[in-house]
């Protein structure tokens, strides 16, 4: 079979699709190779494909999965909405190398694409890719962050610092308590992601063009899913193709769960930046030694910045934008097919890839090395105007508010307590800040 016939679709399509240089990520190419491998294996077993042709397709598909032909998957992400360009690009790469490398005449449509349509192959591939990216990249990164945070929560359980609401003085908390809120948030985020990823495991392969399965064997879809599970061990299932070919809302759900995780990460990053601010004109409540390993300024010697945190926050901004893109692209299409398949596939993988890298660096270079400036935190806590709150149960809110105004004038809370008749020992007991981080009344009502 002449080479020019094998690659004719791709050559023509390059003139019609956009050429932005945006290429499909490795994970999607891997998933496409896996589907072509599984389809050839099943078609041979069903007696629809000769063993020599099937074996050639399987071998080249495995090489495609390994990354050998990534530079030949050249069609832009911004192409036909069903992903036909991607599917045919893959078909032609496999047919080409089966012929040129193995000497087996393989047709991209008749053989590589046997029993398939771009309309069920590409929606299947982007879901397989998304699940693998979550399992192998994002989930481990979150797990490491949770382990690191849990360690810090325990380590900092007795380190008192001022609480702040509206960026104003509030009652004391411990640094461990403050971080525990984020720890539990990430545990909740993982539960949501784990739950949502199960919907993404539903595959439409076998639906062919419109979901009916016309022009393929009735057992094809189920058997292909079995092979995918043999390779991945991830318990994919075949679902109603009339749902999963035209509706990509399972991937919207996954993206929304990633967005929730991103928002929690953003809040933690902001808090860390504030605690790290200074050292002399900011809070200076924590140090992050690794952040001083690169210059923070090209003009101010010795300046250090929370560079890894800021990198993560920028990554989160990109993830939130990709989430919006997925939401919009999921609405493209009518009747039996989505028209936003390629861009949704690209975006969901990029979300997880970007966030995984950000979380890994953030955990290693920020959370693992986070060091509290204990004396600074305690000094702030002891000066907090909110300490007057402890007297409210005894003297009432209005009187406490009046005393707060006196403290604003520069008087110490110790002097105020003496005027109220408390002894020095009683005042020392009242100002035991660690006790103020626990439930209950510090000063009993009279």
Is the confidence at residue 5, as pLDDT, over 50?
A: no
Q: E strands within 130-271?
A: 160-165, 168-174, 202-203, 237-238
How confident is the prediction for the chain on average, in pLDDT? 92
**pLDDT over 80 at 406, yes or no:** no
Average the pLDDT over 308-320 and give the result. 97
The tally of CA atoms less than 13 A away on the side-chain side of residue 137 is: 19
Return the CATH number of 8-114, one of 1.10.275.10, 3.30.2040.10, 1.10.3080.10, 3.40.50.1820: 1.10.275.10
pLDDT tens-digit map of 328-347: 999 999 999 999 999 999 99
pLDDT at 2 over 60: no
Is 355 within 8 Å of 319 (Cβ atoms)? yes
pLDDT at 394: 72
Catalytic residue IDs: 166, 297
Kindly list the distances between the CA atom of residue 44 and the CA atoms of 114, 215, 227, in Å, as whole numbers in the listed order: 11, 16, 13
pLDDT tens string 246-293: 999 999 999 999 999 999 999 999 999 999 999 999 999 999 998 877
How many other CB atoms are there within 10 angstroms of residue 64's CB atom? 24
Residue 192 has pLDDT above 70, yes or no: yes
Class of domain 120-206+235-374: mainly alpha
- Render pLDDT for 59-87 as a digit per residue (tens, 0 to 9): 999 999 999 999 999 999 999 999 999 99
pTM comes to 0.92
Give the whole-angstrom CA distance, residue 377 versus residue 372: 8
| Annotated domain spans of the chain | 8-114, 120-206+235-374, 384-435
Tokens of 63: 């090489």
Averaged pLDDT for residues 228-249? 98
The CATH number given to 384-435 is 1.10.40
Lowest-confidence pick of 64-78, 151-165, 416-430: 416-430
In the chain, what percentage of residues exceed pLDDT 70? Answer: 96
Which of 90-104, 117-131, 203-217, 386-400 is least confident?
A: 386-400
């Amino acid at each position: 079979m002449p080479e020019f016939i094998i690659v004719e679709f791709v050559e023509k399509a390059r003139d019609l699709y956009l050429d932005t240089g945006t290429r499909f990520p490795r994970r999607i190419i891997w998933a496409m190779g896996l589907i072509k491998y599984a389809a050839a294996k099943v078609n041979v077993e069903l007696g629809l494909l000769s063993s020599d042709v099937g074996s050639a397709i399987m071998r080249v598909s495995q090489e495609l999965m390994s990354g050998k032909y990534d530079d030949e998957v050249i069609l832009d992400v911004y192409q036909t909405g069903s992903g036909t360009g991607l599917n045919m690009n893959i078909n032609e790469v496999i047919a080409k190398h089966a012929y040129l490398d193995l000497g087996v005449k393989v047709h991209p449509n008749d053989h590589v694409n046997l029993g398939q349509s771009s309309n069920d192959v590409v929606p299947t591939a982007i879901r397989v890719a998304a699940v693998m990216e979550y399992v192998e990249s994002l989930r481990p990164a979150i797990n490491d962050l949770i382990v690191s945070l849990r360690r810090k929560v325990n380590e900092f359980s007795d380190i008192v610092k001022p609480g702040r609401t509206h960026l104003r003085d509030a009652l004391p908390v411990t640094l461990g308590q403050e971080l525990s809120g984020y720890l539990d948030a990430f545990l909740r985020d993982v539960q949501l992601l784990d739950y949502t990823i199960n919907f993404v495991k539903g595959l439409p392969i076998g639906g062919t063009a419109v979901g009916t399965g016309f022009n393929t064997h009735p057992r094809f879809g189920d058997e292909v899913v079995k092979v995918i599970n043999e390779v991945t061990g991830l318990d994919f299932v075949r679902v109603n193709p009339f749902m999963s070919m035209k509706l990509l809302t399972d991937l919207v759900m996954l993206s929304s769960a990633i967005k929730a995780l991103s928002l929690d990460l953003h809040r933690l990053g902001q808090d860390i930046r504030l605690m790290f601010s200074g050292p002399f004109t900011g809070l200076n409540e924590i140090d992050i030694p690794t952040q001083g390993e690169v210059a923070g300024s090209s003009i101010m010697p010795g300046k250090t910045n929370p560079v890894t945190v800021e990198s993560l926050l920028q990554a989160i901004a990109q993830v939130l934008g990709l989430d919006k893109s997925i939401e919009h692209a999921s609405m493209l299409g009518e009747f039996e097919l989505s028209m936003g398949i390629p861009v949704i596939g690209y975006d969901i993988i990029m979300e997880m890839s970007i966030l995984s890298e950000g979380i890994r660096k953030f955990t290693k270079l920020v959370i693992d090395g986070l060091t509290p400036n204990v004396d600074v935190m305690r000094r702030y806590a002891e000066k907090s105007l909110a300490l007057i709150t402890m007297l409210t149960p005894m003297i009432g809110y209005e009187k406490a508010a009046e005393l707060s105004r006196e403290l604003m004038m520069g008087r110490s809370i110790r002097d105020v307590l003496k005027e109220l008749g408390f002894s020095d020992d009683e005042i020392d007991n009242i100002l035991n800040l660690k006790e103020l981080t626990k439930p209950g009344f510090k000063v009993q009502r009279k």
